[in-house]
A and B are shown apart, each in its own frame.
Chain A
Amino acid sequence: AQSVAQPEDQVNVAEGNPLTVKCTYSVSGNPYLFWYVQYPNRGLQFLLKYITGDNLVKGSYGFEAEFNKSQTSFHLKKPSALVSDSALYFCAVRDRGSTLGRLYFGRGTQLTVWP
């Protein structure tokens, strides 16, 4: 069974500091991994994905994520946080063999960046 864990409900960082939002996964095969961001009262917006190749993927708004197969993790990172990064972040996984395109989402991590 596929599952995604985001171990932190909340992450707080000061503006200008690096941020990390953690994600670990459990899938039956090699996964495709995604990060989405949700601003208040908005839909989910795609940030980045890992499909294959370089373990470090870069996405929108200066975010990046590192795929670590041995640790089954896909942590989201940004070198310097902005107040405007404050939002709800979702990690998601799709089984590589899936024909249905279903994404399994983590429970979300609320990121707060204070000035």
Chain B
Amino acid sequence: DTAVSQTPKYLVTQMGNDKSIKCEQNLGHDTMYWYKQDSKKFLKIMFSYNNKELIINETVPNRFSPKSPDKAHLNLHINSLELGDSAVYFCASLPQGTNTGELFFGEGSRLTVL
């Protein structure tokens, strides 16, 4: 069973469209994250939720809106897509109650904006 699963794995769309990426974890973790990996492989945190509450919101355009319907899911909705949004987006989760734990990552969702 996949611990952190993301859908879709690949997404190709036109500029100006709106798209969503979904993430689910079956590990029972309370905290989930979205990271963006750019074309140079640099990883940058975008958002974090703890038990459905937003706890980290980096300097990300308002076009990006995370939603956590429950602690096992963290979805990412992107409005008015731009060329610069092309990247691989990774979802991750962290065991609760510890900051010594390692993040568990999904396989990534590669977004290509044309």
Q: In this assembly, does A83 line the interface, its C-beta being within 8 Å of a C-beta of chain B?
A: no
> Lowest 10 CB-CB distances: which A-B pairs, in order?
A43-B105, A46-B102, A105-B43, A44-B105, A43-B107, A101-B94, A108-B41, A51-B100, A98-B99, A101-B99
Complex Cα–Cα for A5 and B56 (A): 23
Q: Chain B interface: which of A18-26, A61-69, A74-82, A88-96?
A: A88-96
Taking CB atoms, residues of chain B closer than 8 Å to A36 are 105
B residues at A contact (CB < 8 Å): 4, 31, 33, 40-43, 45, 48, 50, 55-56, 90, 92, 94, 99-108
Query: How far apart sit A102 and B101, CA to CA, in the bound complex (Å)?
Result: 11
Which residue in A34, A41, A44 is a CB contact (below 8 Å) of B90?
A: A44
Let me know if A58 is at the binding interface, CB within 8 A.
Answer: no
CB < 8 Å neighbour of B106 from A32, A43, A101, A105: A43
A12 near B: Cβ within 8 Å? no
Given A44-B90, A105-B43, also A32-B107 (CB < 8 A): no
Asked whether A107 and B102 contact (CB < 8 A) given A42-B108, A101-B94, the answer is: no
Q: Are B107 and A96 in contact (CB under 8 A)?
A: no
Q: A34-B102, A98-B99, A107-B40 are in contact. Are A42 and B107 (CB under 8 A)?
A: yes
